[in-house]
């Protein structure tokens, strides 16, 4: 294959360790300091300058290029300057014409900057002006279609962020035909299109069911090395990096297992990655109580928090063996409030939510049996299916399927059931519930109920 | 009504309020007396719904919302928590008619406030949140049917989905009352005794006509429970304004909380007689 190295574009950030050995002509970077009055970080240059700004990640950095500037007495490291959110400040001659200042950041953070003649002043940006925010908590609450709009907004914002920078940076985006990363799709199918200006070879390397790497050979990337947080419910993050002289890598992290297909478009310069969510049933299991909250305690000392976790762990294994995707609201003895449990299920957009509890009626030791609760009409078939299996398989008294406003079944957005597996206040039932074999049977019964519900709802099962 | 629970501790059972409650002077005093009655003066055959309840604190009323904090022993289960909060909310809602919403919080005996691990206490609760529910395996029109605990001398109102078989909700309700022992949980059954036959004779202008006769001896207590259950169940169905009984081969029962020689259309809430056995637990 003929490799046209000409598709490398004029602007490539490359590796930070490579600096231009020759001094620049024009202005000189003479100082980096904090203005005690304004609190701004000030870059002092002997002549007026228009900076170009970019952000890099892993580690988080802010890069300020000063065109037609050489690094003066400040040297390569501006030590002794402390600025909020900045761990270290470095400076170096990046190219013959460009001085570069790098702020090593404590965290993902953005700065506003203004050029005042021969000074550049930086201040922490207001949150609303942040170019790329870790948006997961906000976006994940929205519907998927809204996520798509959000993703486009993010990409657009990134372009905007570079447009507000100056000449070279703006040219970077213009030089790439159309948007370099184009997302399009509906609900569970997504496409990522990568454009190039020349020929190249590519290879798609699956790293796990939630991560792929696409390796490009034959040129340099035209984009700043950076991450774009998409978080559209399928793609979590896209990272683009120059991994070698003529080799670039695109790393894509997914929230959920996906199937990725790739093909070159007829002009052979565009690569189309089509991603489809692997349609597994997603279940959130919620072992009740935990940590300081023991839940009910049986007459022999059995703690509800332990048996609920034991059953949930067994149930998780059964479900995973049958190809379901399972998350648990807690994996160990940990106190978690009810709202985070619900949020976890809603954020995951699980198909089913099952909360596992054990009951107690205090000194009324004669009370025993299984109860299953639901709240919405949509949840009733799930609760009933689970309850029927539990009563049939465990052969304990049937205390009914009941509607109730228990928090976790009230606020989850998918079919949800809360199972009361039995009464720890009944000595006989307590002995059963603490028995690992019984827990295994309970887990199997709940699984059978969930599977029956899913079959009923979707004939594909 | 005071709301207790039946022996299986599954359902709330209404019991006529004792007149002693009227002697309480302040709302707080009334609330405290209710807790005392529900916890300590339990009618024979019923149970206290306040399992694990140590007390009630910080009772307040403002703008149609009542507030209280329930002090619970640690480690009570969801069923006990639901029974306790449900009984109090239902009872207090009946006593304080102007107060529909109840903001409930929980505390431990050490006065520490804690989050319920079961109930959604993020919003005020209402009596309707604690209606007894019985799963009939169906969906559709629901009605509140008054069922009887086998062997018990009281009725339990339960919301159920009607069968829809006859196309007339009232008729479906009657059929389901008669067959309740077949579809209801073990702890509940039909209020119609074995020797009594009730026939749907028609409905006109919202008045349902039922023909009642007996094939064998039926105790007055069982007759009363059956007729109260029929009246309460049918009058809860939209479109039914009265129940007209026709008695065949049996005298018109007396001692009922309503006069069944004329169509019975009195409001449900004023019908008493859910508990026929007198006395309370020692």
What SS3 state is found at A143? coil
- Contact (CB<8Å) B118/A360: no
Give contacts of B185 with chain A, Cβ < 8 Å: 398-400
Q: Identify the residue among B89, B135, B137 best suited for mutation to test binding to A, counting A beta carbons within 10 A and taking the highest.
A: B135
pLDDT for res B153: 84
CA distance A235 to chain B (A): 34
Contacts 24+ apart (CB under 8 A), A89-95: A89/A32, A89/A41, A91/A29, A91/A32, A92/A19, A93/A19, A93/A20, A93/A21, A93/A22, A93/A23, A93/A24, A94/A19, A94/A20, A94/A65, A95/A20, A95/A24
pLDDT for res B185: 87
Rounded Cα–Cα distance for residues A278 and A258 (Å):
5
Q: What is the ipTM of this complex?
A: 0.87
All residues at 6 or more sequence positions from A125 whose CB lies less than 8 Å from its CB, including other chains: A109, A110, A111, A112
Span B234-249, average pLDDT: 92
Give contacts of B51 with chain A, Cβ < 8 Å: 361-364
Nearest by Cα to A278 from A300, A257, A307: A257
Give contacts of A302 with chain B, Cβ < 8 Å: none
By CB atoms closer than 10 A (0-12, 13-18, 19+), residue A18 is exposed
Nearest by Cα to B203 from B155, B151, B167: B167
In angstroms, how far is CA A359 from the centroid of its own chain? 37
Question: Per the structure block, which two tokens stand in for A226?
Answer: 């950076």
| Whether A343 contacts chain B with CB within 8 A | no
Give contacts of A382 with chain B, Cβ < 8 Å: none
By CB atoms closer than 10 A (0-12, 13-18, 19+), residue B1 is middle
pLDDT for res A261: 87
Residue in A398, A406, A425 nearest the CB of B78: A406
Q: What is the pLDDT of residues B78-124, one digit of tens each?
A: 889 999 999 999 999 989 989 999 999 998 877 666 777 788 998 99
pLDDT for res A219: 64
pLDDT in tens, chain A (461 residues): 333 333 332 222 222 222 333 333 578 888 888 877 777 888 888 888 888 887 777 677 888 888 888 887 665 445 567 777 788 888 888 778 888 888 888 777 778 777 777 788 888 775 433 233 222 222 232 223 333 333 333 333 333 222 222 223 222 322 232 234 444 444 455 677 676 666 778 889 988 777 889 887 776 655 544 445 555 566 777 776 767 777 777 788 887 778 888 888 776 667 788 877 777 789 999 999 999 889 999 989 999 999 999 999 999 999 999 889 899 999 989 888 898 999 999 988 899 999 999 999 999 999 999 999 999 989 999 999 999 999 999 999 999 998 888 999 999 999 999 999 999 999 999 999 999 999 999 999 999 999 999 998 875 55
Give contacts of A342 with chain B, Cβ < 8 Å: none
Q: Identify whether the C-beta of residue B72 lies closer than 8 Å to the C-beta of residue B111.
A: no
Residue in A384, A397, A404 nearest the CB of B82: A404
Peptide bond before residue A59 is cis, with ω within 30 degrees of 0: yes
Helix axes A144-164, A167-175, angle to 10 degrees: 130
Rounded Cα–Cα distance for residues A304 and A289 (Å):
7
pLDDT for res A48: 80
CA distance B248 to chain A (A): 38
- Contact (CB<8Å) B77/A360: yes
What SS3 state is found at A408? helix
| Whether A305 contacts chain B with CB within 8 A | no
Q: Identify the residue among B76, B78, B81, B140 best suited for mutation to test binding to A, counting A beta carbons within 10 A and taking the highest.
A: B78
Rounded Cα–Cα distance for residues A449 and A447 (Å):
5
Length of chain A: 461
Nearest by Cα to A50 from A157, A164, A173: A164
Residue in B74, B80, B118 nearest the CB of A361: B80
Rounded Cα–Cα distance for residues B143 and B131 (Å):
11
Q: Cα-flanking dihedrals φ and ψ of residue B172, to 5°?
A: -60, -40
Question: Per the structure block, which two tokens stand in for A113?
Answer: 């900057």
Residue in A363, A399, A406 nearest the CB of B118: A406
Q: Cα-flanking dihedrals φ and ψ of residue A141, to 5°?
A: -80, -20
Nearest by Cα to B132 from B236, B202, B267, B216: B236
What SS3 state is found at A337? coil
Q: Identify whether the C-beta of residue A286 lies closer than 8 Å to the C-beta of residue A352.
A: no
Among chain B, residues having any CB pair with chain A shorter than 8 Å are 8-10, 47, 51-52, 73-80, 82, 115-122, 125, 129, 133-135, 137, 139, 185-186
pLDDT for res A405: 87
Nearest by Cα to B95 from B72, B114, B68: B68
Q: What is the pLDDT of residues B63-78, one digit of tens each?
A: 889 999 999 887 788 8
Bridge-based pairing state of the strands A201-208 and A211-217: antiparallel
CA distance B141 to chain A (A): 13
Give contacts of A406 with chain B, Cβ < 8 Å: 78, 118-120
| Whether A286 contacts chain B with CB within 8 A | no
Q: Which residues of B235-273 are buried (b: 16+ CB within 10 A; e: fewer)?
A: bbbeebebbbbeeeeeeebeebbbebeeebeeeeeebeb
Chain A: residue nearest B125 by CA? Answer: A405
What percent of chain B has pLDDT above 90?
51
| Whether A294 contacts chain B with CB within 8 A | yes
Q: Identify whether the C-beta of residue A112 lies closer than 8 Å to the C-beta of residue A125.
A: yes
The tally of CA atoms less than 13 A away on the side-chain side of residue B253 is 22
- Contact (CB<8Å) B135/A401: yes
Question: Per the structure block, which two tokens stand in for B133?
Answer: 């529910």
Q: What is the pLDDT of residues B156-194, one digit of tens each?
A: 999 999 988 888 999 999 999 999 999 998 889 999 999
Question: Per the structure block, which two tokens stand in for A70?
Answer: 């050489």
Residue in A296, A360, A367 nearest the CB of B8: A367
Chain B: residue nearest A298 by CA? Answer: B75
Residue in B74, B78, B134 nearest the CB of A400: B134
Rounded Cα–Cα distance for residues B114 and A7 (Å):
63
CA distance A316 to chain B (A): 22
Span B196-210, average pLDDT: 94
Rounded Cα–Cα distance for residues B52 and A296 (Å):
11
Which residues are registered as beta bridge partners of B147?
B156
Rounded Cα–Cα distance for residues B46 and A255 (Å):
53
| Whether A23 contacts chain B with CB within 8 A | no
- Contact (CB<8Å) A407/B80: no
pLDDT for res A459: 55
| Whether A421 contacts chain B with CB within 8 A | no
């Amino acid at each position: 294959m003929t490799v046209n190295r000409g598709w490398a574009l004029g602007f490539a950030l490359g590796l930070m360790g490579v600096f231009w050995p020759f001094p620049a002509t024009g202005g000189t970077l003479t100082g980096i300091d904090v203005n005690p009055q304004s609190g701004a970080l000030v870059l002092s240059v002997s002549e007026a300058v228009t900076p170009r700004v970019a952000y890099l990640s892993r580690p988080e950095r802010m890069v300020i290029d000063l065109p037609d500037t050489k690094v003066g007495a400040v040297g390569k490291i501006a030590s002794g300057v402390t600025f909020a959110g900045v761990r270290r400040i470095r400076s170096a001659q990046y190219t013959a014409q460009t001085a570069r200042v790098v702020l090593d950041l404590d965290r993902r953070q953005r700065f506003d900057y203004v050029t005042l003649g021969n000074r550049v002043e930086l201040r922490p940006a207001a949150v609303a002006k942040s170019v790329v925010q870790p948006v997961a908590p906000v976006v994940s609450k929205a519907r998927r279609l809204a996520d798509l709009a959000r993703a486009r907004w993010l990409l657009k914002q990134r372009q905007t962020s570079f447009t507000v920078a100056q000449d070279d940076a703006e040219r970077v985006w213009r030089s790439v035909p159309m948007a370099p990363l184009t997302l399009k799709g509906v609900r569970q199918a997504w496409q990522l299109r990568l454009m190039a200006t020349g020929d190249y070879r590519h290879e798609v390397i699956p790293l796990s069911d939630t991560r792929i790497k696409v390796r490009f050979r034959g040129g340099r990337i035209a984009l700043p090395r950076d991450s774009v947080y998409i978080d559209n419910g399928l793609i979590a993050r896209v990272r683009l990096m120059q991994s070698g002289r003529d080799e670039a890598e695109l790393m894509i992290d997914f929230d959920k297992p996906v199937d990725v297909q790739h093909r070159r478009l007829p002009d052979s310069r565009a690569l189309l990655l089509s991603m489809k969510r692997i349609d597994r049933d997603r279940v959130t299991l919620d072992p009740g109580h935990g940590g300081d909250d023991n839940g009910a305690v049986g007459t022999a000392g059995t703690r509800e928090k332990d048996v609920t976790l034991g059953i949930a762990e067994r149930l998780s294994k059964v479900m995973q063996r049958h190809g379901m995707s399972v998350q648990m609201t807690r994996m160990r003895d940990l106190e978690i409030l009810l709202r985070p449990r619900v949020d976890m299920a809603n954020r995951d957009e699980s198909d089913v939510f099952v909360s596992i509890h054990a009951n107690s009626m205090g000194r009324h030791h004669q009370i025993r049996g299984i109860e299953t609760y639901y709240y919405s009409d949509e949840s009733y078939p799930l609760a009933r299916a689970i309850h029927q299996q539990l009563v049939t398989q465990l052969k304990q008294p049937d205390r009914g399927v009941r509607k109730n406003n228990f928090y976790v079944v009230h606020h989850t957005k998918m079919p949800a059931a809360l199972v009361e597996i039995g009464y720890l206040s009944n000595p006989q039932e307590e002995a059963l519930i603490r028995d690992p074999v019984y827990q295994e049977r309970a887990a199997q019964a709940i699984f059978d109920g969930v599977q029956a519900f899913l079959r009923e709802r979707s004939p594909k099962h | 009504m005071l709301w207790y629970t039946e022996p299986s501790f599954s359902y709330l059972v209404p019991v006529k309020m004792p007149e002693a409650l009227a002697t309480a002077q302040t709302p707080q005093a009334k609330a405290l007396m209710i807790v005392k009655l529900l916890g300590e003066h339990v009618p024979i055959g019923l149970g206290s719904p306040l399992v694990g309840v140590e007390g009630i604190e910080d009772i307040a009323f403002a703008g149609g919302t009542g507030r209280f904090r329930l002090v619970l022993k640690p480690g009570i289960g969801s069923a006990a928590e639901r029974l306790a909060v449900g009984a109090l909310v239902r009872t207090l809602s009946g006593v304080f008619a102007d107060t529909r919403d109840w903001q409930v919080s929980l505390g431990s005996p050490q006065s520490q406030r804690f989050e319920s691990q079961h109930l959604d206490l993020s919003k005020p609760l209402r009596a309707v949140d604690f209606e007894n529910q019985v799963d009939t395996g169906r969906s559709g029109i629901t009605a509140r049917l008054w069922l009887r605990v086998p062997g018990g001398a009281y009725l339990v109102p339960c919301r159920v989905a009607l069968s829809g078989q006859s196309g007339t909700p009232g008729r479906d309700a009657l059929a389901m009352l008669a067959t309740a022992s077949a579809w209801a949980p073990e702890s509940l059954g039909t209020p119609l005794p074995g020797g009594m036959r009730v026939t749907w004779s028609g409905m006109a202008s919202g008045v349902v006509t039922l023909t009642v006769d007996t094939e064998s001896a039926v105790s007055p207590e069982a007759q009363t429970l059956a007729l109260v259950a029929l009246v309460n169940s049918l009058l809860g169905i939209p479109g039914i304004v009265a129940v007209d009984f026709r008695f065949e081969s049996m005298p018109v029962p007396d001692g009922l909380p309503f006069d069944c020689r004329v169509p019975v259309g009195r409001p449900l809430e004023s019908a008493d007689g859910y508990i026929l056995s007198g006395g309370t637990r020692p």
